[in-house]
Structure 1
């Protein structure tokens, strides 16, 4: 839906799940691969999802995915506010 109408999808960390809720290997990486193949981007707030090296089988990460410009804007805002992962 985001590729058709634009925008981003975010599942950031929160107080209950500071490392995010979506799993890197099963949810985030496959969607990030498709988004980047279609010209979009995906990040954990600082690092592109496809550049992350898993440290655990069910590792969870914050997740931002969408158009390249939108994701870059969110990444900059998170870094400047100190909220990036």
Structure 2
């Protein structure tokens, strides 16, 4: 659960792990958010969906590599539509 600027967010993923293939598949994703007064519900829905995509991408695909002075991995691949539940 994250509490940032008064907004409470919780996310849970159901995954299937295939150790022989080294793959993880997200089957379902649940998210709950208490953001207080909502002026634009569609914007909040978009924010929640974007959080799901970003969390899935960061967990399963993204990687940052460094050398002694800078970031060296500028070509990471995030998730695409087939990777999402």
Judge same fold: TM > 0.5, yes or no. Answer: no
- Work out which of the two has the higher radius of gyration on C-alpha atoms and give 1 or 2: 2
> Which structure's residues are more often helix, by fraction?
1
Higher relative contact order (CA 8 A, sep 6+): 1
TM-score (norm 2): 0.28
Q: Which has the higher strand share?
A: 2
TM-score, normalised by the number of residues in structure 1: 0.28
